[in-house]
Structure 1
Amino acid sequence: MKRESINVKKVLLNGTEMSKIIDRMVYEMIEHLSLLKNVAIVGIRTRGVVLAERLIKKIEEKENVKLATGTIDIALYRDDFCKGLSSPKTGPSVLNFDPEEYHIILVDDVMYTGRTVRAAIEAVMDYGRPKSIKFVSLIDRGLRELPIHPDIVGKVIETSPEDKVAVFFKETDGEDKVVLG
């Protein structure tokens, strides 16, 4: 999503609030991770990768562990990519581990219809069948089209189908915030 195309109606989370929520998510993830061995955290391109990198860094620092990590690009797995006129823009998917030996935690910035997560699961499965797949999202805006829900969510926000929710990260946008457009 192009950040400059967002007509901001409301700031839902500022940088301080976002940081506190991410910290809480880290503690929830640590609780889940303590039950599992061989855990890999995989960010969904593009903003899920930024969130995953933050979560990974904090978990590794707090728990003194080294996690398996990866990124997954879902462009070719989307069920709506052929509706557009141009070819989808793709980036690399990188899983430097054997998924069949790991419990995978997929990470994305916003949970909406469930179609992105479905595509990410399909993409991961092309690499092999993991022991399990969990899903973590910073924002859950509801309005599901598929029966998919995050295992850990930072904040639930009620929206309408016409609304846009955009997550800004310091690393990519110069500041942390979540806005409604």
Structure 2
Amino acid sequence: MPDRKCIIHAKLLDVMLHRLCHQLIENHANFDETVLLGLQPRGIYFADRIQRRLKKILNKEIDKGYLDTTFHRDDFRRRDSPLAPSKTDVPFLIEDKNVILLDDVLYTGRSVRAALDAMVTFGRPRKVELMVLIDRKYTRHLPIESDYVGRAVNTIDSQRVLVEWEEQNEEDGVWITSKATT
């Protein structure tokens, strides 16, 4: 595949996930008052991995849901073709809980803004934090920052950061590609 560069291979990704879980444990201890929300469509794989690792480390179930932001996006009606929504599955209330939003890549911040709007359907959280695997620095349209970051990368607008998970029948890894090749 032309113009595709691996920036995080499977073993390094494993180390990053381990570190991120321990950072969460430092700040949320036993997770009695904390839930995970993976942003559709790609943040759900990240949320699944984090939840499985936390369960293994803490030896307890951690509440996790999937949040679709399609109808809360500011560009929803501006596209030439309609967006296809993904499934929202939040089987718990988030009222007065600490919520960790998880997404694979933080780019402009607009998806996170939409997630904040979509999330209030399930209650008003006590606190919201953001965890991203990749933070594309210097690209924000909104003043949004992540509380937990796997890795910050510098990219230009003509590039795309592609996170691949073995759950998607891919090899675990993070790639920088040209937008034209994806």
Please, which moves more after superposition, 82-91 or 57-66? 82-91
Of 139, 146, 150, 1:154 maps to: 150
Tell me the equivalent position of 1:114.
109
Q: In structure 1, the residue corresponding to 2:122 is in which secondary structure? A: coil
Distance in 1, Cα, partners of 2:95 & 2:29: 19
Aligned residues: 176
Of 45, 48, 54, 1:53 maps to: 48
Q: Does 1:169 align with 2:165?
A: yes
| CA-CA distance at 1:26 after TM superposition | 1.0
Q: Are the counterparts in 1 of residues 55 and 62 from structure 2 also a CA contact under 8 Å? A: yes
Of 27, 37, 54, 2:22 maps to: 27
Q: Are the counterparts in 2 of residues 8 and 179 from structure 1 also a CA contact under 8 Å? A: no
Distance in 1, Cα, partners of 2:161 & 2:150: 14
Q: Are the counterparts in 2 of residues 44 and 108 from structure 1 also a CA contact under 8 Å? A: yes
- TM-score, structure 2 normalization: 0.91
| CA-CA distance at 1:174 after TM superposition | 2.1
Distance in 2, Cα, partners of 1:112 & 1:139: 9
Q: In structure 2, the residue corresponding to 1:165 is in which secondary structure? A: strand
**Pair 31,8 (structure 1): closer, same or farther in 2 beyond 3 Å:** farther
Q: Does 1:102 align with 2:97?
A: yes
| CA-CA distance at 1:36 after TM superposition | 6.2
Q: Where do 4+ consecutive residues of structure 1 move more than 4 Å?
A: none
Q: Does 1:129 align with 2:143?
A: no
1:31-42 to 2 correspondence within 5 Å? 31-34=26-29, 37-42=32-37
- TM-score, structure 1 normalization: 0.92
Q: Are the counterparts in 2 of residues 168 and 178 from structure 1 also a CA contact under 8 Å? A: yes
Q: In structure 2, the residue corresponding to 1:28 is in which secondary structure? A: helix
Q: Which amino acid aligns with 1:92?
A: K
Distance in 1, Cα, partners of 2:30 & 2:167: 31
Alpha-carbon RMSD across the aligned residues, in angstroms, is 1.5
Q: In structure 2, the residue corresponding to 1:95 is in which secondary structure? A: coil
Q: Are the counterparts in 1 of residues 31 and 62 from structure 2 also a CA contact under 8 Å? A: no
Tell me the equivalent position of 2:180.
none
| CA-CA distance at 1:33 after TM superposition | 1.2
Q: In structure 1, the residue corresponding to 2:36 is in which secondary structure? A: strand
Q: Which amino acid aligns with 1:149?
A: E
Q: Are the counterparts in 2 of residues 166 and 178 from structure 1 also a CA contact under 8 Å? A: yes
| CA-CA distance at 1:60 after TM superposition | 1.0
Q: Does 1:89 align with 2:84?
A: yes
- Unaligned 5+ segments in structure 2 are 178-182
Q: Percent identity?
A: 31
Q: Are the counterparts in 2 of residues 166 and 180 from structure 1 also a CA contact under 8 Å? A: yes
Of 163, 176, 180, 1:180 maps to: 176
